[in-house]
Amino acid sequence: MSASREKGIVMIGAGQAASQAVVSLRSEGYEGPITMIGDEAVPPYQRPPLSKKFLAGEIGFDRVELKPAEFYASANCKLMLGTRATEIDRKAKTVTTSDGHVLDYTKLLIATGSRVREINVPGFDLEGVHYLRSVGDVAEIQSHFKAGGKMVIVGGGYIGLEVAAVAKKNGLDVTVLETANRVLARVVDPIVSKFYERIHREAGVDIRTGSMVVGFEGKDNKVTGVDTGDGEIVPCDFVVVGIGIIPNTELAEEAGLAVKNGIVVDECTRTSDPDIFAAGDCTNHPNGVFNERLRLESVQNAIEQGKTAAAAMMGKEKPYNQVPWFWSDQYDLKLQIAGLSQGYTQAVTRGNPETDRNFAVFYLKDDVLIAVDAVNRPPEFMMSKTLIANHTKLDPARLADESINMKEVANA
């Protein structure tokens, strides 16, 4: 075991939150050493493009890389890539890594992100059953991209539908199997689900809802079909499973930090240990806009918590308290989401999702706007972020009326 006696800031995780924290620490005036530990062999990169333009081969790694390796060197940030943190000793204020290093820290940032939820059915370990979470995963999936090849996607969420769009444009025969009775069931109103099902079917994707996967069939240890339990085996050359992600909280939990659906942090990303902070997908944090604790899986959340954590490590209070937002690219459609629609009492549509490729669905709770799904409608998305933050009460009829400019809908 070797020890680094130079105390500084240590970051566990090498993703969006950690990369942002390095940038923000230097802009906040921190001059000490920074060490970033990442289990992948490459510097931090953006994950959202992996299921979109990167999977399609339209952009290379240089376009998803957050900062070139030279940036970290110039920022006096040591990258320990291809290694894992295996233990946090809060009393000694050290982090032990899988290759035997022991790092001292003054402040620690846990930005361990999340991992894919794996499917546990017979045949899950056959060759050709893939997940999409890393650049390595993309390379494996792309190796099957041959026109006319048969692909089955398990899961009709954002990842599954984005992959379906890319695969279809590459000439593959695509079937999507979704357990729920509609796609995107966990996150959007049936209006939006119906729209995306129509779009994908028109593109030639076989969307099957209410379809349970009970196993994978194979030959010579390679997947050849998906068993849906109803007597049919859906033939395939390969499978992509997209059934959600799980926050990586085990290290924090083993260290005795408070964990409940994520690492519990305050509005400044402090954990239950004043010298340990956490940011990104792995955190459970308070949100003042919705007055509840949230665990978010989004780029915006990772970036803003990275900024807040850096400031807090420098003794500056810059609470993170914003309207969450997300996006999804499928074909020529950009879905932009602001807010959280859970608990809505009314959905109001602006535009015609049955015939058009641009519209917005507003989610109201007792006439207060709490979320929007905007498809190719940037003005509705941008304006809604402000209206949601201000807990604005709206007249549903004015919202639906496209003759009224979005900037005027709040003016009764």
The string of DSSP letters for 302-333 reads HHHHHHHHHHHHTT---------EEEEEETTE
Q: What is the pLDDT of residue 226?
A: 98
Per-residue pLDDT of 322-347, as tens digits, reads 999 999 999 999 999 999 999 999 99
Q: How many CB atoms lie within 10 A of CB 317?
A: 9
Mean pLDDT across 177-186 = 97
- Global confidence as pTM: 0.95
Question: What is the pLDDT confidence band of residue 5, given thresholds at 50, 70 and 90?
Answer: low
Q: Give dist(CA 291, CA 5) in Å, integer.
A: 43
Read off the pLDDT band of 6 (50, 70, 90): confident
pLDDT average, residue stretch 218-242: 96
Average of per-residue pLDDT values in the chain:
96
* Dist. CA 192–CA 353, nearest whole Å: 8
> What is the DSSP secondary-structure string of 338-393?
EE--TT-SEEEEEE-TTT-S-EEEEEEETTEEEEEEEES-HHHHHHHHHHHHTT-B
What's the pLDDT at 231? 86
Task: Please report which confidence band the pLDDT of residue 1 belongs to, taking 50, 70 and 90 as the band edges.
Answer: very low
Percent of the chain with pLDDT over 70: 99
What is the greatest pairwise CA distance in the chain? 70
- Give the mean pLDDT of 101-123: 97
Rounded-to-integer distance, Cα 366 and Cα 219, Å: 56
> Does 298 have pLDDT greater than 60?
yes
Residue 60, SS3? coil
Decide if pLDDT at 199 tops 70: yes
Q: Tell me: pLDDT of 274 over 60.
A: yes
- The whole-number average pLDDT for the span 201-223 is 97
Report whether pLDDT(51) > 90: yes
| Alpha carbons 397 and 305: distance in angstroms, whole number | 37
Q: Is the pLDDT of residue 209 over 60?
A: yes
What pLDDT, on a 0 to 100 scale, did the predictor assign at position 3? 47
| Residue 411 binned pLDDT confidence (cut-offs 50, 70, 90) | confident
Report the pLDDT averaged over residues 126-139.
97
Backbone torsion region of residue 70, taken as left when φ is above 0, otherwise alpha when ψ lies between -120 and 50, otherwise beta: alpha
Q: How much is the average pLDDT of 39-67?
A: 95
What local confidence, expressed as pLDDT, does residue 412 receive?
61
Is residue 360 a contact partner of residue 349, using CB atoms and an 8 Å limit? yes
